[in-house]
Amino acid sequence: MLVKFENKSHRVKGLAFHPRRPWVLASLHNGVIELWDYRMDTKIDEFCEHEGPVRGVDFHSSRPLFVSGGDDYKIKVWNYQLKRCLFTLNGHLDYIRTVQFHHNYPWILSASDDQTIRMWNWQSRSCLIVLTGHNHYVMSAQFHPSKDLVLSASLDQTARVWDISGLRKKTVSPMTPTDSGVGNDMFGVSDVGVKHVLEGHSRGVNWASFHPSMPYIATAADDREVKLWRMNDDKAWEVDTMRGHINNVSCVLFHPKKDLIISNSEDKSIRVWDMNKESAPQVLRRENDRYWILAVHPTLNLIGAGHDQGMVVFKLERERPAYDCSPSHKRMYYFNDNYVIEHSFRTKSLNESSAQVFRRSSRINEKPRTLLYNYSNRQQHCVLLLFDPMGTYELHVSDKKRGGVDFSRQSTYKGFAKSAAFVSRNRFAVLDKNRQIWQRDLKNEVKKKITIPGLVVNQIFPAGLGRILLRTSDAMVLYDIQATKIVGELRIQSRHPIKYVVWSAKHKFVAMFSKSNIHIAKANLDECCFTFENSRIKSGAWDDETFVYNTATHIKYLLPNGDKGIIRTIEDPVYICQISPNSQELHFLNREKKCGVAKIDPTEYVYKVAVTKCKYKTVVRIMRSGKLVGKSIIAYLQKKGFPEVALHFVKDEKIKFQLALQCGNIASAKESAEKLEKTDPKSGKACWEQLGVEALRQGVCHIVEEAYMKTSNFDRLSFLYTITGNTTNLKKMLDIASQFRKDKNAVVSQFHNTLYLGDVESRVDCLKKAGMLRLAYVTAAVHGLQGVAETLAKELKEKTPDLNSIPNISTAKLLKPPVPIIRAQKKQDYNWPLVEVSSGYFDGIDISKIDLNAPDPEEKDPYDDEEGDDILENDDDMKNGGMGDLGGWLSEEKEKKKKAGADTPSAGGGDGWGGDGDDFGLGDLGLDDETNDNGMGVEEGKGEEGDDDDNFFVYPSPGKSWETKWSESSNLAGDLAAAGQFDMALHSLNRQIGAVNFKSLESKLMNVNNMAHASLPMMYGIPSVSVPLQRMDSNETPLGLPRLCFSMPHCVDMLQQAYRFVSSGNFPKALETFRSILSTIPVLEVATTDDEKKLVDLKGICREYITGLRIEAKRRETKEPAKESALAAYFSRQKMQPMHQVRALLNAVKIAFKLKNYKATAAFCRRILELYVSGDKAQLSKVVKPAQIRALLKKTEGLNTDAVKVDYREGEALILDLKTLTPIDKDAKVYRCPYCFSTYGSQGGICDTCGIAKIGADVSPYRPKQGGGSSGWR
**Of 403, 278, 383, nearest in space to 334 by CA:** 383
User: CB 174: neighbour CB atoms within 10 A?
Assistant: 5
Lowest mean pLDDT among 154-158, 893-897, 961-965, 1244-1248: 893-897
pLDDT for residue 862 is more than 80 = no
Q: Which regions of 133-289 does DSSP assign to beta strands (E)?
A: 138-143, 149-154, 158-163, 193-199, 205-210, 216-221, 225-231, 236-243, 249-254, 260-265, 269-274, 282-285
| pLDDT tens digit sequence for 987-1001 | 888 888 888 888 888
Note the pLDDT of residue 1269. Answer: 37
* DSSP, residue by residue, 962-1027: HHHHHHHH---HHHHHHTT-HHHHHHHHHHHH-B---HHHHHHHHHHHHTTEEEE--STTSPPEEE
The two beta strands, 595-599 and 1013-1016, are: unpaired
pLDDT digits (tens, 9 = 90+) for 903-912: 433 334 443 3
- At 1024, is the pLDDT very low, low, confident or very high (cuts 50, 70, 90)? confident
d(CA 388, CA 514): 18
User: What is the spatial distance between Cα 143 and Cα 108, in angstroms, rounded to a whole number?
Assistant: 9
Decide: helix, strand or coil at residue 507.
Answer: coil
Cβ burial of 904 (10 Å; 0-12, 13-18, 19+) is buried
Question: Residue 940: its pLDDT value, please?
Answer: 38
Each residue of 55-112: pLDDT tens digit?
999 999 999 999 999 999 999 999 999 999 999 999 999 999 999 999 999 999 999 9
Better-scored residue on pLDDT, 74 or 1274: 74
Query: Does pLDDT of 354 surpass 50?
Result: no
Best CA proximity match to 997, nearest among 1101, 1102, 1082: 1082
Band (pLDDT 50/70/90 cuts) for residue 836 is: low
Could you check whether the bond before residue 389 is cis, i.e. omega within 30 degrees of 0?
yes
The reported pLDDT for the residue numbered 402 is 57
pLDDT tens across 752-766, in order? 888 888 888 888 888
| Highest mean pLDDT out of 64-68, 803-807, 847-851, 1138-1142 | 64-68
pLDDT at 441 over 60: yes
In the chain, the percentage of residues whose pLDDT exceeds 90 is 28
Instruction: Please list the helix, strand and coil fractions of the chain in percent, rounded to the nearest 5, in that order.
Output: 30, 30, 40
> Over 90: is that where the pLDDT of 558 sits?
yes
- How much is the average pLDDT of 491-502? 85
Judged against a pLDDT cut of 50, whether residue 901 lies above it is answered with no
User: Once rounded to an integer, what is the mean pLDDT over residues 946-962?
Assistant: 53
Of the candidate ranges 4-18, 121-135, 481-495, 848-862, the one whose mean pLDDT is the lowest: 848-862
Q: What is the pLDDT of residue 406?
A: 54
Distance from C-alpha of 1058 to C-alpha of 1098, rounded to nearest angstrom = 12
Q: Rounded to whole angstroms, what are the CA distances from 482 to 382, 450, 461, 466, 487?
A: 22, 10, 17, 6, 11
Contact 1250, 1233 (CB under 8 A): yes
| pTM over cut 0.75 | no
DSSP assignment string, 1171-1195: HHHHS-HHHHTTT--HHHHHHHHHH
The pLDDT of residue 295 is 95
pLDDT grade, residue 407 (50/70/90)? low
Cα radius of gyration (the chain): 42
**For residues 1205 and 1197, what is the distance between their CA atoms, to the nearest angstrom?**
18
**Per-residue pLDDT tens over the stretch 682-713:** 888 888 888 888 888 888 888 888 888 888 88
pLDDT digits (tens, 9 = 90+) for 1068-1114: 999 999 999 999 988 887 777 777 888 888 999 999 999 999 999 99
Decide: 103 and 61 in contact? Cβ < 8 Å: yes
For 1145-1158, what is the mean pLDDT? 89
